[in-house]
Structure 1
């Protein structure tokens, strides 16, 4: 059987920045060697205090962080703490694993304890440590030993030598309490350092604590026990930091890096969100209400009110273990069994709760309504599955349900959700297979399970753990993520209660269906967080922001009932509220002071009054709070007007007004990342007819039909590749480290030995399949690839068997690099006639009135200067953009020589590395003469040109040849027209490029 593909890891820029921020904390901090072979090196607190303070302050300034304070003690306790805020789905686990390797490399720190809030997350963390071991081992040249906490493994961790990296993974439940084994005294005799318990022995080691999801560790008892570890350093990684005692509900301990919800969406590190709301308020009118309670704490009863199916008001009394459906006669509530009744809520075993005095909709649980929501979710799945399948991406859908019995039959009542799903899936599958133009590969994929649709859906529930028929599905869902993502696996619809809410995720969840009421303690973002990670293809490579199909692929559709209220606005507000800078729809004068808008309450009140007069906000005279009123499009249209009015306020400087605008920009940028399904009509750009006349000549020449020509000497290429393979190709055997601890019963004599074992290779491909796959990856002929492999040095060829998938990637990179080097100056273009019909013109060559924004960029950037806006090809107050450097480039356009500019629609210049689209076009005056000078600019968001990936360089160099051919056209030469092509990276200014043009 072929080996399952493995995730292709790569370190992303935001992860590198987080790891570097942590490492820089210890610049110039001296660590002393430990007194034994098990402990971490240590630093002298008094000696290191000033250096640490300075380093942390510098890092916070570099990362533009103002939240929280710098806190460094001059004593060994409390331990130094660092906070890293990273939004769910952005690779937080990957980042803290690399941090472990980096701290060992830089400071020889060797003992790390990773604390997580649940067993589900623990299993996920252990899997991540396992699957990244080879990647980081190759990068850092270090092995890592991982210990899954138990009474036995903690001994091995304690006595592991500090020459290598040792990581113990545990939940907080394993140590928070004197009754826990780790805290019991006398469990093991002769612990080193005069320790009486495992915890005391760990305290001698001075471990580095890494805490995942710190808001789950906020209890006083947990905090007290954390201190017993006597850590050298505590690093908290989380998307949420909470402290009920803090004024804003947040408490940071040396926050040095942030990537909050707003940043994650803006930087396109997670999927966009589309919400599909099913039903109306009227459909969901049926409600339950916890009216009052009676009895004692031990045996409390709840009085609830509800509506019968006939619409009449009724009441019932509930106690622990009562079935809500039986008590009310509402059969669709049968899955709701009372777990406990407290003075404040009735809590059910399915995590649903009725708060005291709050009417809670239950209409969504009615059988016909749930069937409608299921039908809509299946429809969403089929809408995108074929296109994703053609891209090699498997689409998964996740259903959160309210009752296990509705999916797993219990022998007494039908499993109504399972029945409804199979009915609607079968109907929509039949419709799909009737399409005559269905992709053949996708058709075969659907037909394979058409006769047994039970293969496409499975569930994971606590009840099903012991049922043999479900064991394979549970293993597939929980542990075999790679296998689940393969087209070879039919399963693509997953049903669960909230058991999969944390500690589990899958990057290819494209549809998430809510058939269960929300738990008020869980945010909307947390509820849908399982589906926000970026999608991967069959090679398990992420579809990242540089992929032209990024936005088409990376979209999560959330199907919710109308009873959820305004789910869209709730998520939008959470995104804004989660910003570290406290950007939110509701704000007050304190927030204005934090953002540098108003130096005093008096000036803040003037700002708020001005915004209220403009209709931007509404003001609550009692609380002093302001609430934003404008929709995103309305704000963008009035952005300049608002700024101009702010600048006229007495006592406010221009920079203060700009800071207020920055606050509004940040809020509305986050607000636009979530959209309603019915709002998915593509936004358009209006074209400025007058400006187009000055831009027309450039546009028409860019849109010429171009024939790409290049000649590649096959023999020369083969020679070059074989030579490069001999020096650059290496695939090491996969090894696994096994640590054996002997004499465990007597810890002072216990010793650990670590033995690496080679993993015997398993064949994934036949030789013919390997050659064909490599030919597909490189676009070389089968014959050429076979010839190259036959000439490989024998020792290098033998390495392919060590790991065939990695060998494929390595050989692909070598071959593409050699092709690039040989072709870089040999690409030529034959330019033909000007195309009449383009993205700006119709088939008669007439200018269109509008074009889709998506042809030019994935988001819009407000143009803050009226003069710049007047030069735009588009009659809008914004410019489409794809990246931060493009935003900067738009804002830099204060050059009087530029008469028209535009973010260019897609041009699709052919290159050997694929189609290429430059970013900006400029029409420029030339010493007062008629316009005949044009500039086309490619921006790259890198600090150094050497950082640009080879494939991108290849496209750019090919484009240079395109523009060279364009410039050589006689009709342009005769008119004296010049069209220049330049590249621009971070730190370079547009003015320099324009001033160099004569």
Structure 2
């Protein structure tokens, strides 16, 4: 039976474009390097040129693209990027086609900019096999979409190092799927080299090179599937760094460590788009969460000067009791003062109030948050509670 994939899902297009547009202005190009001869069971390969990804944009150009994407997606603005350290989060709920999105993103990056080397890092054997199966069942679909673009994919196997060499020298799209455990153990002490993963050991078949060194030369895009289970320890972070990524893309519904968020499709969005089904919403007990800053934009008004906005805050009354109430603010107002001195609002000074219909928002002088109608900041409002209910329901349903 031939599987059918819907190529026109708008939310998937938005997720893909959010990554592709990060590199707007990039000219298709590659970098070349020399790969030593390979002496393996299937014969001797001569020295040849390796082919790697190359980025000509600098951090300011990437940052400008990132901020434009975050603005259109209603996300907090990144203030600065570190040169050569490009880490981006894609927040997608379980069951919304996350794997399809990042596989199609790979092909779009090749089509638009010529990038060709990609590594998908997974936390477990089960997910590794699932990703490989997705590559198999989507290949015909993607070849139809991308004019029979040639691409190769394989699961890293330390007994098949010729695949790593082919990954380095191929001019086609190369996709390596690898479990974090396959390259987490690395030792610089020569006396402990036999305890390191093979990928980190010098290998006679690679003319004394370490397989990881071939990978590093390619400057791969590293895609981390479920990063909360992959790179949360010092050793795993060092392992990811050892790949020498040009860019790292993290796909998850439950990010533990936050980087530069470029796209968000949370549980509530998924539910409202009818991407996930439920029979009964799980119960969720709420508590008094006033220890976090909560802001909700209710409306904006530019009918008279000065322009104002109505924002719901947690305000302290004369008796010290915190209650949620709407207040009116204008440019320059300090929400610390408006909340009657609540520390959680320090730094929330109104910068601009934007009144364009359908794109109303408020930003702040020293906070990255952008406050939009229907997108509260903080985890105590009804929307956040609903999201927790739906996420819990999805998890319970998938575990049945």
Partner of 2:81: 72
Q: Does 1:58 align with 2:68?
A: yes
2:294 corresponds to which of 588, 592, 606 = 592
The match for 2:223 is 210
What TM-score do you get using the length of structure 2 for normalisation?
Answer: 0.69
> Where do residues 348-359 of structure 1 align in structure 2 (5 Å cutoff)?
none
Distance 1:659 1:647, change over 3 A: farther
Q: SS state of the match for residue 97, structure 1?
A: helix
**SS of equivalent residue, structure 2 residue 157:** coil
Higher helix share: 1
Alpha-carbon distance between aligned partners in 1 of 2:95 and 2:151, rounded to the nearest angstrom: 24
Map of 2:152 onto structure 1: 145
Higher strand share: 2
CA drift at 1:589:
6.5
Instruction: Give the CA deviation at 1:120.
Output: 0.3
Query: Measured at CA, do residues 110 and 591 of structure 1 come closer, stay the same or move farther in structure 2, by a change above 3 Å?
Result: same
Structure 2 distance, partners of 1:104, 1:674, is: 34
List gaps (5 residues or longer) in structure 1.
244-250, 276-566, 574-584, 611-618, 629-641, 677-998
2:175 to 160, 167, 170: 167
The aligned residue for residue 222 of structure 1 is 236
What is the rounded CA distance, in whole Å, between the counterparts of 2:298 and 2:76 in structure 1? 12
Structure (1 or 2) with the larger CA radius of gyration = 1
Q: Distance in 1 between matches of 2:185 and 2:125?
A: 17
Q: Quote the residue 1:155 is aligned against.
A: 162
**1:203·1:231 contact (CA, 8 Å) conserved in 2?**
yes
Q: 1:163 to 1:660 in 2, by over 3 A?
A: closer
Structure-2 separation of matches of 1:40 and 1:148: 19
Instruction: Indicate which of 3, 20, 24 corresponds to 2:21.
Output: 24
| Counterpart contact for 2:164–2:214, Cα < 8 Å | no
Unaligned runs of 5+ residues in structure 2 are 34-48, 187-195, 300-307, 330-336, 340-349, 354-360, 363-370, 394-400
- Conservation of the 8 A alpha-carbon contact between 1:209 and 1:231: yes
What is residue 214 of structure 2 aligned with on the other side? Answer: 201
Aligned to 2:52: 40
Q: Structure 1 residue 184 and structure 2 residue 184: aligned?
A: no
* SS of equivalent residue, structure 1 residue 88: coil
Rate the CA distance shift 1:651–1:6 in 2: closer, same or farther, 3 A. Answer: closer
**Aligned pairs (5 A) from 1:407-806:** 568-569=283-284, 586-588=288-290, 590-592=292-294, 604=313, 606=315, 609=317, 663=376, 664=381, 666-667=383-384, 670=387
Query: Kindly tell me: are residues 204 and 593 of structure 1, through their superposed partners in 2, closer, same or farther at Cα, counting changes over 3 Å?
Result: same
3-state secondary structure, aligned to 1:66: coil
Native 8 Å contact 2:52 2:217 kept in 1: no
1:129 aligns with 2:140: no
TM-score, length-scaled by structure 1: 0.29
1:269 aligns with 2:269: no
Deviation at 1:261, TM superposition (A): 1.6
- Could you say which residue in structure 1 is the equivalent of 2:59? 49
The answer as to whether partners of 1:274 and 1:674 remain within 8 angstroms in 2 is no
**How far apart, in 2, do the equivalents of 1:168 and 1:257 lie?**
24
Between the aligned partners of 1:594 and 1:148, the Cα distance in structure 2 is: 46
**Maintained 8 Å contact 1:116/1:171:** yes
Residue 153 of structure 1 and its aligned partner are, at CA, apart by 3.9
Within a 5 Å distance, the mapping from 1:297-446 to structure 2 comes to none
1:545-571 superposed Cα distances (whole Å, 9 cap, x missing partner):
xxxxxxxxxxxxxxxxxxxxxx5216x
Q: Aligned partners of 2:162, 2:53: CA distance in 1, in Å?
A: 20
Looking at structure 1, the residues matched to 165 and 8 of structure 2 have their Cα atoms a distance apart, in angstroms, of 31
Listed one character per residue, the Cα deviations across residues 947-998 of structure 1 (whole Å, up to 9, x for unaligned) are xxxxxxxxxxxxxxxxxxxxxxxxxxxxxxxxxxxxxxxxxxxxxxxxxxxx
Asked if structure 2 preserves the Cα contact closer than 8 Å seen for 1:113 and 1:170, the reply is yes
CA distance in 1, matches of 2:158, 2:58: 35
Contact 2:53 2:117 in 1 (8 A): no
Question: 1: CA distance between counterparts of 2:389 and 2:125?
Answer: 36
Map Cα deviations across residues 433-454 of structure 1 (whole Å, 9 max, x no partner).
Answer: xxxxxxxxxxxxxxxxxxxxxx
Give the 3-state SS of the residue equivalent to 2:205 in structure 1. Answer: coil
**Secondary structure in structure 2 of the residue aligned to 1:40:** strand
Q: Distance in 2 between matches of 1:10 and 1:171?
A: 29
Is the Cα contact below 8 Å between 2:267 and 2:391 reproduced in 1? no
Greater relative CO, 1 or 2 (CA 8 Å, sep 6+): 2
Q: Distance in 2 between matches of 1:224 and 1:267?
A: 38
Contact 1:209-1:235 at 8 Å conserved across structures: yes
Q: What SS does the aligned partner of 1:272 have?
A: coil
* C-alpha distance in 2 between matches for 1:136 and 1:5: 14
Q: Deviations 1:391-411 (Å, cap 9, x if unpaired)?
A: xxxxxxxxxxxxxxxxxxxxx
| Structure 2 contact 15–101 (Cα < 8 Å) conserved | yes
Specify the SS of the correspondent of 1:209: strand
Change (3 A) 1:72 1:188: farther
Question: Aligned partners of 2:134, 2:389: CA distance in 1, in Å?
Answer: 33
Distance change >3 Å, CA 674–CA 235, structure 1 → 2:
closer
Per-residue Cα deviation, 1:262-293 (whole angstroms, up to 9, x for no partner): 22112221112416xxxxxxxxxxxxxxxxxx
Q: Report the alpha carbon displacement of residue 241 of structure 1 after superposing the two structures with TM.
A: 1.4
Q: Structure 1 residues 120 and 661, CA, compared in 2 at 3 Å: closer, same or farther?
A: closer
1:355-383, CA deviations, whole angstroms, 9 ceiling, x for partnerless residues? Answer: xxxxxxxxxxxxxxxxxxxxxxxxxxxxx
Matched-pair contact (CA < 8 Å) for 1:33–1:41: yes
The one of 92, 101, 109 equivalent to 1:95 is 101
Cα offset for 1:151?
Answer: 1.6
